[in-house]
Amino acid sequence: MQKNERVSFGSKLGAILAAAGSAVGLGNIWRFPFEAGNHGGAAFILIYLACVLILGMPIMIAEFTVGRHSKASTGKAFGILAPGTQWKLIGYLGVLAGLLILGYYSVVAGWTLEYILASLNNGFAGQGPEDFVASFQEFSQDPLRPIIWLLAFLFFTHYIVVKGVKDGIEKSSKIMMPVLFILIVVLAICSVTLPNAGKGLEFLLKPDFSKLNADVFLGAMGQAFFSLSLGMGCLSTYASYFGPDTKMGKTALSVGAIDTMVAILAGFIIFPAAFSVGIQPDAGPSLIFITLPNVFQQAFGGVPFLAALFSLMFYVLLALAALTSTISLHEVVTAFLHEKFGWKRNRAAILVTAFCVVTGVLSSLSLGAWDAKFFNLSFFDLLDFVTAKLMLPLGGLLVCLFVGWYLKKSVSRDELTNYGREKAPYFSVYMFILKYIAPIAIALIFINELGILS
């Protein structure tokens, strides 16, 4: 695409919602609760919030700067801003991370489709907590059913990316995001009023710092990158579609606030419900799929129609939130292949989808039929670990160094102030964090995890 032909989002709100659509997804509602659960609850959440603020916000603005200034997708942006240097490797690293995430992410996205079908059939009626655990296990370990849903989800993503419906992304986000938000608030209220919900609230709100260790820090940092869609050039690619009036600081803060609120609210849905019915908070990736049906049954069980309706709405919105995220991941990789090798978008997209079918099928099988272990992790967990906890923070670190140290300061200032038309009083704080605080913090968390500090 020629520079001057590049389409932009129709409005400033559209830009915010499209970026928020990428950010809000399974990361908030599925991954955040189970990571918080595995790492002891409130203390993890506090560190997570610190990571969002200190690392997430500045790095998001830095990615916006790279995207809007280069007006190119991440695979090309660094080559444009730093011709003849190796900085372009940041873009390649990001594209690879996106490709790897898309495979296992689509497996979980596929699970939401199974749960949509179950809600339609009113399949949760009359079941208790043990039944939900058993039926999730049976389903996720089945060699075939999750794979069919995975394929369905990938093809759906593929179709939208090939059609190139930027409009579609923007328009649908405008309706879906608010509806999802309202539903989550309603469910959180239902959940905190369940019997014995208090223990769950305590788990969420009362930090136990004795549980802190290197894994908690790495987990919180990885979750912040994953949830905000940072560290792989996803938001920088979206920023290349921002108009000249989009305020980048404000957009980053809005996206960060929406994303964090959804994650925290998801915590308020999951933990009170889990404690209420005696499900352990460290149940891992299955956590939301075994606790949520309980919320629906316990809160509306007296009126089966309402229970089915709420669970249907919830899983449909979750699937759509996942879809806006998979589109953003697929788009980055497809745009890269298209721009780098000059392949038609169609052909590039087919290759991306085919690759994800393979990694997705392997991830899905690794939860049941295929019991190979890599460093003690299933293939699914391996992909999650390598991307969220290694590649994304590394990508974020490199972006800090690129914008903080390599890129001319005037470029950052121009982008942040829309060439002097806006004020950016926080500019020097932002640059300071980008140059020193964020890279040192990321490096320390990595080093700490290796056990060198202890």
Nearest to 249 by CA among 412, 397, 8: 412
Which stretch, 58-66, 68-76, 228-236, 297-305, contacts ligand TRP (CB under 6 A)?
228-236
Please give the Cα distance from 150 to 147 (Å, whole number). Answer: 5
Nearer to ligand TRP, 95 or 431 (CB): 95
Which of positions 29-88 make contact with ligand TRP (CB under 6 A)? none
For ligand TRP, the closer CB: 25 or 219: 25
Q: Using the minimum distance from each CB to ligand TRP, give the nearer residue, 228 or 431.
A: 228
Tokens representing residue 237 in the block: 């690619």
Tokens of 227: 């949830």
Q: Which ranges in 278-303 belong to alpha helices (H)?
A: 287-300
Task: Let me know how long the chain is.
Answer: 454
Q: Does 232 bind ligand TRP (CB under 6 A)?
A: yes
Considering only the stretches 20-28, 136-144, 370-378, 414-422, report the one whose residues sit in contact with ligand TRP under the rule CB under 6 A: 20-28
Q: Which amino acid is at 334?
A: T
CB 396 within 8 A of CB 94: no
Q: How far is the CB of 45 from ligand TRP (least distance, A)?
A: 16
Q: Supply φ then ψ for residue 52, to 5 degrees.
A: -60, -45
Among positions 26, 66, 81, 365, the unique one binding ligand TRP when judged by CB under 6 A: 26
Environment class of 420 (CB within 10 Å of its CB; exposed 0-12, middle 13-18, buried 19+): exposed
Q: Which is nearer to ligand TRP, 279 or 332 (CB)?
A: 332
Return the amino acid letter for 166: K
Q: Which stretch binds ligand TRP (CB under 6 A): 64-72, 178-186, 222-230, 279-287?
A: 222-230
Q: With contacts defined by CB under 6 A, name the span among 18-26, 308-316, 378-386, 399-407 that binds ligand TRP.
A: 18-26
Residue 374 has φ and ψ, to the nearest 5°, of -120, 120
Judged by beta carbon, residue 325 or residue 364, the one nearer ligand TRP is 325
| Number of helices followed by number of strands (H, E) in the chain | 22, 0
CB 349 within 8 A of CB 52: no
Nearer to ligand TRP, 361 or 388 (CB): 388
| Nearest CB to ligand TRP, comparing residues 192 and 232 | 232
> Running DSSP on this structure, what letter comes out for residue 206?
S
Give yes or no for residue 101 binding ligand TRP (CB under 6 A).
yes
Q: At residue 289, what is the residue type?
A: F
Q: Which of 16, 17, 20, 23 binds ligand TRP (CB under 6 A)?
A: 23
Binding test (CB under 6 A) with ligand TRP, winner from 157, 227, 254, 298: 227
Q: Residue 184, Cα to own-chain centre: how many angstroms? A: 17
**Piece of 69-77, 158-166, 170-178, 224-232 that binds ligand TRP (CB under 6 A):** 224-232
Per CB under 6 A, contacts with ligand TRP among 162-201 are none
Residue whose pair of structure tokens reads 């020629």 in the numeric block: 2
Give whichever of 28 and 140 is closer to ligand TRP, judged by the CB atom: 28
- 112 touches ligand TRP (CB under 6 A): no
Q: Mark 306-335 with x for binding to ligand TRP (rule: CB under 6 A) and - for no binding.
A: -------------------x--xx------
Sign of the four-CA dihedral 16, 57, 224, 39: negative
Name the packing angle between helices 248-277 and 287-300 (round to 10°): 70
CB of 10: closest distance to ligand TRP in angstroms?
21
Among all residues, whose Cβ is closest to ligand TRP? 27
Contact between 111 and ligand TRP by CB under 6 A: the answer reads no
- For residue 177, give both structure tokens: 């995001």
Q: Which helix (H) or strand (E) holds 175?
A: helix 166-192
Q: Contact between 226 and ligand TRP (CB under 6 A)?
A: yes
Q: Does 363 bind ligand TRP (CB under 6 A)?
A: no
3-state secondary structure of 377: strand
Compute how many residues bind ligand TRP; rule: CB under 6 A: 16
* Shortest reach from residue 123's CB to ligand TRP, in Å: 25
Asked if 203 contacts 384 with a C-beta cutoff of 8 angstroms, the reply is no
Determine the residue type at 270.
Answer: I
DSSP 8-state code for residue 402: I
Binding mask 387-426 for ligand TRP (x = CB under 6 A): -----x----------------------------------
Task: Please tell me whether residue 365 binds ligand TRP under the rule CB under 6 A.
Answer: no
Residue from 25, 219, 393, 404 in contact with ligand TRP (CB under 6 A): 25
Q: Residue 227 CB, nearest distance to ligand TRP (Å)?
A: 4
3-state secondary structure of 374: strand
- Judge contact between 377 and 389, C-beta under 8 A: no
Residues interacting with ligand TRP, by CB under 6 A?
22-23, 25-28, 101, 226-227, 229, 232, 234, 325, 328-329, 392
